[in-house]
Amino acid sequence: MSRRPGKLRLGLSLQHAGYHAAAWRLPEVPRHANLDWQYYLRSAQAAERGKFDMIFFADGVAVRENLDDREVLARTPSVVNLEPLTLLSALATHTRHIGLVGTASTTYNEPYHIARKFASLDHISGGRAAWNLVTSWSLGEARNFGRDTPLDYDSRYARAREFARVVHGLWNSWEDDAFVEDKQSGLFFDPDKLHVLGHQGEHFSVQGPLNLSRTPQGRPLICQAGKSPAGQEIAAESADFVFTADHSIEDGQAYYREVKGRLAQHGRHPGQLLILPGVVPIVGRSEQEAQDKFGRLQELIDPKIGLSLLALLGDLSAYPLDGPLPPIHDYGEMASVARLIEQRARKDNLSIRQLYQAIAASRGHRTLVGSAEQVADDLQAWFEAEAADGFNIAAPYLPGAVDDFVDLVIPELQRRELFRREYEGTTLRQNLGLDYPEHPRSTPTHADH
């Protein structure tokens, strides 16, 4: 791990009114916040003040929740969102340093569009664009794109791998210095520096060239959040950083080793793929203040939403929320998950409300509630144990939780020499400490590294 960066990397995940399902109900969050680019700008600018590496917008091309359960759906703020590329482009011109990570699906897109849009964002932002490559698991997305069911797992990932190769190839359509723009002679570009892709594959035939030049970062960065072996392989072949969601430091270390171990077979070294687990921090000036902030959010979780999170345990609506979990008789189709949820309640003697609150808060990520020192201790431990190269900070509510992290945790990380005080470069690639990808100088047929 010789090339492992000395400082940890920080991304900030922004969505809806925040990552916490009840964030929109906080009195300080304006109505229709999730349609307002300036609402997100406040968080982006706070993140830039805190020298974050990047902001990240997750996305899906559907209302992915169950359309038939209108009671729960009507209480779900994630049903509408601005589209990430248009939103990031707006934010790009009001920020100077922060990286801009948008999500796009390989299952319901064509590589030419994705190559072009992210390249365009890289030009507009002066080298700060990154693509979060996802393969779209949901039924809702399938049904918006002519399918009855999602594409099966293997087909999705086979398509995604070829998709990423084509995108890499298109990004190398022109060499860095192709555009001579010689006004005197009338030569706009040097024709020897144009490389027509001519890709013919199993899923795509794409002639090229891309009608956009090589970008300030050489090419936009790629992020991938695959957990499965196929997902990890795409990351190892094509990505620059991965978002993950591990719950114990041991699991984090195992994942870290596994993904980094896959790089060599693609001719890459461990420093070329950064691993960023997600955490949801709730920070206070004291642990008590943090707990109070957290409690305020947890209280706002609608019981209908809460009970829907426990649906695997059956219909609990007849039981008092502040009473214990009743005996479960039928564990249903996903018995293993249902039993895990039940165990959690039994172990800590949680009421129904406490149980759904515990599940709602994390939604897959680790929730860290505490003082700046406590949160920094945790991040430092993961970083030093090589369970992480940095973190994807999912802000529970916007922009308050971003401000808290920037004002409280960042200075603490800086004091410990774990985090930058100034941006190192002008592009996201430079700030992340990733090498510039030299142009392969011949018609590329696979990923450019």
Ligand X SMILES: Cc1cc2nc3c(=O)[nH]c(=O)nc-3n(C[C@H](O)[C@H](O)[C@H](O)COP(=O)(O)O)c2cc1C
Taking the complex as a whole, the smallest distance from the CB of residue 440 to ligand X amounts, in Å, to 28
Which of ligand X, a second copy, none does 89 bind, CB closer than 5 to 8 A by kind? Answer: a second copy
Strand 366-371 vs strand 390-394: parallel, antiparallel, or unpaired?
unpaired
92 or 134, CB closer to ligand X? Answer: 134
Was 157 annotated as part of a binding site? yes
Taking the complex as a whole, the smallest distance from the CB of residue 224 to ligand X amounts, in Å, to 7
Q: Which residue in 4, 42, 45, 204 binds a second copy (CB under 8 A)? A: 204
Q: What sign does the CA torsion over 173, 176, 177, 179 have?
A: positive
Task: State yes or no: residue 220 binds a second copy (CB under 8 A).
Answer: no
CA dist., res. 92 & res. 99, Å (int):
9
Was 228 annotated as part of a binding site? yes
Task: State yes or no: residue 361 binds a second copy (CB under 8 A).
Answer: no
Task: State yes or no: residue 74 binds a second copy (CB under 8 A).
Answer: yes
| Residue 46 CB neighbour total at 10 angstroms | 23
Per CB under 8 A, which of residues 98..117 are in contact with a second copy? 108-110, 112-113, 116-117
Which of a second copy, ligand X, none does 237 bind, CB closer than 5 to 8 A by kind? Answer: none
Task: State yes or no: residue 92 binds a second copy (CB under 8 A).
Answer: yes
Was 86 annotated as part of a binding site? no
Biggest CA–CA distance in the chain, Å, is 84
Q: Which residue in 208, 226, 281, 444 binds ligand X (CB under 6 A)? A: 226
Q: Judged by CB under 6 A, which stretch of 57-65, 92-100, 351-359, 412-420 contacts ligand X? A: 57-65
**Phi-psi category of 198—alpha, beta or left, where left has phi over 0 and alpha has psi -120 to 50?**
left
**Count of residues that bind ligand X according to CB under 6 A:** 19
Distances (CA, A) of 253 to 141, 189, 191, 226: 33, 48, 48, 16
Task: State yes or no: residue 399 binds ligand X (CB under 6 A).
Answer: no
117 or 365, CB closer to a second copy? Answer: 117
Per CB under 6 A, which of residues 116..135 are in contact with ligand X? 132, 134-135
Which of a second copy, ligand X, none does 186 bind, CB closer than 5 to 8 A by kind? Answer: a second copy
Per CB under 8 A, which of residues 284..313 are in contact with a second copy? 300, 302, 304-305
Per CB under 6 A, which of residues 90..119 are in contact with ligand X? 103
Was 120 annotated as part of a binding site? no
Helix axes 84-92, 37-49, angle to 10 degrees: 60
Q: Which residue in 137, 179, 319, 423 binds ligand X (CB under 6 A)? A: 137
Taking the complex as a whole, the smallest distance from the CB of residue 157 to ligand X amounts, in Å, to 7
Task: State yes or no: residue 154 binds a second copy (CB under 8 A).
Answer: no
6 or 27, CB closer to a second copy? Answer: 27
136 or 272, CB closer to ligand X? Answer: 136
104 or 325, CB closer to ligand X? Answer: 104
105 or 232, CB closer to a second copy? Answer: 105
Which of a second copy, ligand X, none does 319 bind, CB closer than 5 to 8 A by kind? Answer: none
Task: State yes or no: residue 140 binds a second copy (CB under 8 A).
Answer: yes
Per CB under 8 A, which of residues 28..57 are in contact with a second copy? 31-32, 35-37
Q: Judged by CB under 6 A, which stretch of 207-215, 243-251, 395-403, 424-432 contacts ligand X? A: 243-251
Q: Which residue in 95, 106, 392, 431 binds ligand X (CB under 6 A)? A: 392
Q: Which residue in 91, 245, 376, 409 binds ligand X (CB under 6 A)? A: 245
Q: Are 430 and 420 in contact (CB under 8 A)?
A: no
Annotated binding site for FMN: 59, 103, 157, 228
Annotated binding-site members: 59, 103, 157, 228
Contacts with ligand X, residue ranges (CB under 6 A): 58-60, 103, 132, 134-137, 225-228, 231, 243-245, 278, 392
